[in-house]
Amino acid sequence: MQCNVCEFGCEIDEYSRGRCRTYVCTGDTIIQDPDMGYLGAYPVSIETIPLLHYYPSGKFLQVFGTGCNFQCSGCVARLLASGKSLSSTTLTPSQVVEKALQQDCLGVVSTLNEPAANYYLFRDLAVQAKEKGLLVGCSTNCYFTEETLNKLGQLVDFMNVGIKGYSDRSYISCGVPSSAPVFRNISLLFDMGVHVETSVVYSRGNEADVIKVAEAVSDISPTIPVQVMRFIPFGDAPIELEPSVGEAESLCADLRKYVDYVYLFNSPGTELLNTYCPECGSLLAEREFYGPMGSRPVRPWITYSCDCGKTVPVKGTTAVERFNEEGFMGGYRISRAFGMVHGVLTCLGILDDSRLIDVWREISDSGTLMKVHHMIQQPYAYLDFVRLIAERANMPEKGEELISFIHTRLELVKSLAAENSGHKVYYCMGSPLFALNAGRMENNLVAFSGGLSINKQLQKEGKPGINVSPSFINENNPDTIFISGFLSRPLDEFYTLCRQYGIETDAVKQQRVYEVPPSWDFGNPRWILGLMYIADKLYPGNSGIDLEKEADEFYRQFYGMPYGKATPNRSFHRPTSGTWHVLRCTHA
């Protein structure tokens, strides 16, 4: 039989489950795999979905399953998209609704994997949620057939539609023949009164295509928000495709010629998460970076109109009390937890995704995830995380091998720090004004190396950091500045921003600003190399650390490749094989 959920129209019979791998055929009917359910349900703020013009600061229950009809390079939720079952225990729609009511959520929202892969499950959830007065929405690639969309549009209140690009070429790279159904469906949803916001991936080289997206959205309505997702190579995609934050900000300025509301994500410190009046340019709502593809209001957005008389189209009222997620919960951060487990398993020599799935089953409850969140923030505690994963994977000996490698280097740096201390350090992510939280691993690596982290003075919490003023940096006058290896910014852009903001610290004057190599300071066992990198920069010529040798030993022992042949990416999983040399490309 032919599936009619999305435009692929897969033939599904007793031997085939379609592209999503989540549907089965019984007699003359296609149904959801009976074993399918929701793998997780966590309360989140609406801005982490992200939606910015819908019930600002509202608390919603985020749910996700498995399966996707697209096959995109660099997918942030690759395992969820694969359609493989990640848990023996799942939630039914009625259980999800019960959780939403118990936790005082305004509604439920399906994210992370594609709801087209769980259409019948999501439809049942929507019906039951609406019966209880809950709002319903999803993040989707919106490749539904027109017939399915007309039915779904009667059940949902809001959607964030992820657009791959305007050209068919941008969709072909995801195994999809054409972009036309997506723009058709956005128009249909808008006409049906569904609140629609759009997101588009911007990778270096597709600027013209992103502009065409804005033009096409404007043809439907210039009031539909366009969220620009700066491409981050979390998967195997080459790091050269990642545009700088500055490049992304420049593109957003071009998009404002077509649509009224343009936002930039995956870019710590940018001001383009804010809402500005399209008529006079006044600041109307202020937000800050809040993890992958997320944002957080700096203060409640109460008034949706500008002093000039322009009204911003916002549905719903602002929540009285803002909800803050903890640990890995909220938006796409759960995918980072997958990546951290994957990173350890890879170093243990486990490359089979099914083994990752087995381990994930045992640690995916919210209580264990919270413990993991704390384990990964301190050097010695991280060893307990490795031991936990190795035990769950039944690879204790290999786990102790990794622990031994890390522990030996920890003792080396500890001895070095005992003889050298007092060097003031500032650690930021993406922008000079976006400071990493005091308790994060990166700042703990600085402290472990004997440095004095000025970030430790910051009391305000955020994910993964907060905006600070130039005066905070100048008054503390750090000797060295490190830029995160997770979300970075080229040094030429960084120094330009320092001049623009009036940052005149010793670190800037003496050009002691360093980009930590990608994924070397957080999220995977390579942080031990990041620790040695930090120590080497704090005590140049006095550390006794041969970083090239240490990196080569680690890569050969735990990735099976020489360091010189490794091509970096932002993935916690592993580098890919290539010829790009990290250290020589990251010196000031």
What pLDDT digit, counting tens, does each position of 545-582 carry?
A: 999 999 999 999 999 999 998 888 888 888 876 544 44
Model confidence band, residue 585 (pLDDT cutoffs 50, 70, 90): very low
Report whether pLDDT(390) > 50.
yes
Range of 144-158, 295-309, 345-359, 408-422 with top mean pLDDT: 144-158
Model confidence band, residue 79 (pLDDT cutoffs 50, 70, 90): low
Mean pLDDT computed over every residue of the chain? 90
Q: Using an 8 Å Cβ cutoff, are 104 and 72 in contact?
A: no
Q: Which residue matches tokens 């290999």?
A: 398
Let me know if residue 123 belongs to a domain. yes
* CA dist list (Å): 141 to 184, 197, 282, 557: 12, 12, 32, 40
Let me know if residue 7 belongs to a domain. no
Q: Using an 8 Å Cβ cutoff, are 467 and 433 in contact?
A: yes
Residue (of 551, 541, 542) closest to 516 by Cα position: 551
Q: What is the pTM of this model?
A: 0.90
Distance, CA of 56 to CA of 51 (rounded, Å):
8
Q: What is the number of domains present in the chain? A: 3
pLDDT at residue 88, as a whole number: 55
Mean pLDDT value across residues 139-156: 97
* Same domain, yes or no: 574 and 536: yes
Chain segment 189-230, per-residue pLDDT in tens: 999 999 999 999 999 999 999 999 999 999 999 999 999 999
Given 414, 433, 452, which residue is the final one in a domain? 414
pLDDT at residue 584, as a whole number: 37
Model confidence band, residue 586 (pLDDT cutoffs 50, 70, 90): very low
Q: Distance between alpha carbon 200 and the CA centroid of its chain, in Å?
A: 14
Q: Whole domain around residue 405: which residue ranges? A: 333-414
pLDDT at residue 189, as a whole number: 98
Q: What angle do CA 489, 333, 156 make, to 5 degrees?
A: 115
Let me know if residue 10 belongs to a domain. no
* Same domain, yes or no: 115 and 237: yes
Mean pLDDT value across residues 473-500: 95
* Same domain, yes or no: 76 and 172: yes
* Same domain, yes or no: 81 and 186: yes
Report whether pLDDT(113) > 60.
yes
Distance, CA of 68 to CA of 138 (rounded, Å):
14
Mean pLDDT value across residues 117-141: 97
* Same domain, yes or no: 288 and 435: no
- Among 18-27, 87-96, 127-136, 448-457, whose mean pLDDT is lowest? 87-96
In 430-585, the DSSP E strands lie at 431-436, 451-453, 465-467, 480-483, 513-515, 566-567, 576-577
Q: How, if at all, do strands 423-429 and 480-483 pair? A: parallel
pLDDT at residue 84, as a whole number: 56
CB atoms within 10 A of CB 371: 17
Report whether pLDDT(588) > 50.
no
